[in-house]
Structures are given as structure tokens and as C-alpha cells.
């Protein structure tokens, strides 16, 4: 390997060291300590920091003289997180939920304003809901769509709902907006009949570190088995717990 390539790789390595150090927000990161940590002179370290600042990877807090993660580093992190296979990560939680409750469990995603049931762990019960894997439904017809749409920005949501409900009464729109508000508070949506007569669906959102909804976990089964007491005591707490653990894999941390 020639000297030019060796030097370039050395520079890249030092830049990555800087990014890793600055990403640790446990303390203020100033030029002199950073240079000492990566083993470069202050001049060379300053040049690397300037390069990273040009690309938005690092920002300089002039008031404190410290360096912070830039907006592009956050965007890069988001892309990496979104690129992970959510279905693969969700599978163990789905299997655990099915085993615990003996009902079908799905992972669901939003596509535009529809929801798609992407993966499923089915129950071995003889009486069960017809599988909907791979099927697409308008978000307002089912629990999974409602729980994902409930956490969209309010302005966007109200504007979209006015368009979606333009052929219905203002009272119907108000009732639906109140339903979504209740879902935001409880963090769970329950629907009876939206995906078929006598079928109940319960859904909770999967979120990332910024609170962005990535998808939903949904449990589905015949309404005669999914009665209110069972939902409140058994299934809803279980779904919420599993969704939180899955969300934590994407950096989500519940507010204290």
C-alpha cells in the first residue's frame, strides 16, 4: 500500500474516532482534550473538525467552545435505524405474544395512508380470524392504522382527516379526532369489526428514539375470545410491554 493511501486511511480513522467521541454526550468535548484522545496535534484535529463541520456531522458551540453532533449525524443515525430489518427484530416479540395469548399477531406498516399487514405469527386455535398477511387497508378501518396515524403531527393529521371525511358530517370527523386523541393518551387502539364481522384487533405502535412511528404490533382474533376483561388485564399490558421493548431496539426511551 502506498503512502498516500496509508495517510488517507489514517485520516479517515482519526475522523471516525472524533465522531465516536463527540457522539458521547456525557461531557463537553473541546479541542485540546479531543486532540489528546485521538493522538493528533491541535492543528490537525482542528482541520478534521472543520471538515466534519462542513458536512454537518459536527457542530461547534461557540459559547462553550465545545463540539456537538451535527444535524447530518442525526439524519445518518436515522437512516441506519430505518434500514434495520424491523420484521426480523419484531419476530421474537410476535412469537412471544402468540405463545402467551394463543392469538394471531402481526407486524404492520403504514404505506401512504393505508396499512399493510407484513408478517404474521398465527395461532393454532381452530376458530380464528382469516389471515390478512400482505393485505392493505385504509388506516381508519382498523386498530393498527389508527394507532400509527394517531401520532402523526396534529396539523398534518387534521388537514388529512378533513379531506378523508369530506363526505361525512362534521360530527363524524370530530368523533374520529377524539378517538385518535384517546389513542394518543392510552397508546393502544382497539377495533371491533373493522377487519371483519366478529373480529377484534388490538394494536400498539413501534417507535424510534425520536418518537417517530415505525410500525405497529397487532393482535387479532374472534371477539368472543377477546372480551373486555381479558383485553384490559392480559392482552393490552402485554402488547404495550412488548412494543416498548421492541422500540428500545430503535433507541426509544420512555420519558420519566
Q: Where are the domains of the chain?
A: 3-78, 84-248
Inter-residue contact 204 to 216 (CB < 8 Å): yes
Residue 220 has pLDDT above 80, yes or no: yes
Inter-residue contact 21 to 29 (CB < 8 Å): yes
Nearest to 150 by CA among 101, 207, 233: 207
How confident is the model over 17-26, as pLDDT tens digits? 888 888 765 5
Cβ neighbors of 124 (< 8 A, separation 6 or more) are 102
What's the rounded Cα separation, in Å, for the pair 74 and 72? Answer: 5
How confident is the model over 29-65, as pLDDT tens digits? 889 989 998 999 999 999 999 998 888 888 888 888 8
Query: Span 3-78: which CATH code?
Result: 1.10.10.10
How confident is the model over 153-211, as pLDDT tens digits? 777 677 777 766 677 777 777 888 889 999 999 999 999 999 999 999 999 999 988 88
Inter-residue contact 89 to 246 (CB < 8 Å): yes
Query: Span 84-248: which CATH code?
Result: 3.30.450.40
Predicted TM-score of the model (pTM): 0.65
Considering the chain, what percentage of its residues have pLDDT values greater than 70? 87
Amino acid at each position: 500500500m502506498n503512502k498516500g493511501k496509508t495517510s488517507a486511511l489514517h485520516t479517515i480513522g482519526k475522523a471516525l474516532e472524533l465522531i465516536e467521541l463527540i457522539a458521547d454526550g456525557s461531557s463537553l468535548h473541546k479541542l485540546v482534550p479531543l486532540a489528546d484522545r485521538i493522538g493528533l496535534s491541535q492543528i490537525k484535529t482542528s482541520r478534521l473538525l472543520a471538515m466534519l463541520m462542513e458536512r454537518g456531522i459536527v457542530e461547534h458551540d461557540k459559547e462553550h467552545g465545545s463540539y456537538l453532533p451535527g444535524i447530518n449525524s442525526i439524519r445518518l443515525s436515522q437512516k441506519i435505524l430505518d434500514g434495520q430489518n424491523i420484521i426480523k427484530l419484531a419476530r421474537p416479540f410476535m412469537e412471544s405474544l402468540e405463545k402467551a395469548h394463543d392469538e394471531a399477531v402481526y407486524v404492520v406498516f403504514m404505506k401512504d395512508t393505508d396499512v399493510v399487514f407484513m408478517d404474521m405469527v398465527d395461532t393454532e386455535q381452530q376458530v380464528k380470524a382469516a389471515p390478512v398477511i400482505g393485505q392493505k387497508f385504509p388506516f381508519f378501518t382498523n386498530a393498527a392504522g389508527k394507532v400509527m396515524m394517531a401520532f402523526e403531527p396534529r396539523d398534518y393529521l387534521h388537514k388529512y382527516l378533513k379531506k378523508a371525511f369530506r363526505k361525512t358530517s362534521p360530527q363524524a370527523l370530530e368523533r374520529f379526532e377524539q378517538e385518535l386523541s384517546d389513542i394518543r393518551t392510552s397508546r393502544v387502539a382497539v377495533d371491533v369489526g373493522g377487519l371483519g364481522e366478529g373480529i377484534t384487533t388490538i394494536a400498539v405502535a413501534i417507535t424510534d428514539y425520536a418518537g417517530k412511528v415505525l410500525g405497529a404490533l397487532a393482535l387479532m382474533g374472534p371477539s368472543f375470545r377477546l372480551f373486555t376483561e381479558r383485553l384490559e388485564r392480559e392482552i393490552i399490558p402485554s402488547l404495550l410491554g412488548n412494543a416498548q421493548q421492541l422500540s428500545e431496539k430503535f433507541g426509544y426511551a420512555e420519558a420519566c
